[in-house]
Structure 1
Amino acid sequence: MKEGGNVSLYIADFRSLVSIIGDWGEKALIHHFRKGLPSRSLDQLASYPSIIDSLEDLIDITMELDTRYHERKNEKSHHQEQKPEASRSNSSSSSQKKKNFQKRDNPILLN
C-alpha cells in the first residue's frame, strides 16, 4: 500500500487475497497485513496499549485508528482554513482603530 493510501481499501483487498490463498495461520497473516500498512498506521499501532493477537482485532483497531487520524486531519485542515480569516479581521479592526485614532480633530491636552 502506498504511504498516503486508503486503509479501508487495503483491508478489503487484503481480505480478498486471504479468501483466495486460504489460511496461512494467524501470525503469518498478521505479519503480512502489518507489512502493507502505511508508516502512520504502524506508528499508531506501536502506541496502542494492548497486544493484538488476532487478525480481526488488528484490522478493527487499524480501522478505528485510521478513522481518528482522518478526523483529526480534517479538523486541522478546517482550522487552517479559518485561521487566515480571523487574522484578516483582526488586522482590519486594528488598522481601523489606528485610523480612528489619527482622525481626531481636537487634540487631547494634559495639564
Structure 2
Amino acid sequence: MSGCYRKKVLYFTSFLIGRAAKWIEPYLSNFTNQDSNYLLNSYNLFESQLFTLFGDPNEVRKAEAELDSLRMEEGGHVSLYIANFRSLVSRIGDWDERALIHHFRKGLPSRILDQMASHPSRIDSLQGLMDLTLELDTRYHERQKEKIHHR
C-alpha cells in the first residue's frame, strides 16, 4: 500500500517550486533508501510537513475576515460575488447554513435586498438565496440595457 502513497507524494512533489522544492530535494535524492524516505511513504505525513513548513496557519482567520468584509458593488454582478463568497467559504470550513446565509445577505447591495423582500419563501437555504439573487441581478442588468437602448 505504501507504493500507492509514494506515487501520490511523488506526483505532488513534481509541482513544488522555490523553498518547498529545495526542502524536498534531499528526500528525492535518497529516493531508493526506503528506510530514510519515511516522508515519501506517507501522504498524510508529507502533507502535514508541507503545511507546517510552508502553509499559512492563519488562513481560516484571514478567510473569515475577508468574508466579513466582502461586499458586492451596487452595479456589480452577483455571479462574481457568489464566486468570491464560495471561494472564501471553501477556506473556512464548518459554518452552519444560517451563518452563511447571514454573511451572504450582509454583502448584497440594497437594490437586491429591496427586491428580495417580495420573495421571502425562496430564502430558506443558501442555494435558494443564491439562485434568487442571480435571477434578480439578471433582471436588473437586462433592465439597465433596455434603459440605454431606449434613450
Q: Indicate whether the TM-score tops 0.5.
A: yes
Q: Which has the higher contact order (CA 8 A, sep 6+)?
A: 1
Deviating above 4 A after TM superposition, structure 1's stretches of 4 or more consecutive aligned residues are none
Deviations 1:28-78, CA, capped at 9 Å, x for gaps: 000000000111011111122525110001001100110011101111111
What residue ranges of structure 2 are gaps of 5+ in the alignment? 1-70
2:125 to 47, 54, 70: 54
TM-score scaled to structure 1, two decimals? 0.67
Instruction: Give the match for residue 85 of structure 2.
Output: 14
Cα distance in 2, alignment partners of residues 23 and 42 from structure 1: 26
Identity of aligned residues (%): 75
1:44 to 115, 120, 138: 115
Instruction: Give the match for residue 48 of structure 2.
Output: none
Aligned amino acid, residue 46 of structure 1: A
Aligned amino acid, residue 37 of structure 1: L
Larger Rg: 1
Count of paired positions? 80
TM-score scaled to structure 2, two decimals? 0.50
- Aligned Cα RMSD in Å? 1.3
Instruction: Give the match for residue 99 of structure 2.
Output: 28
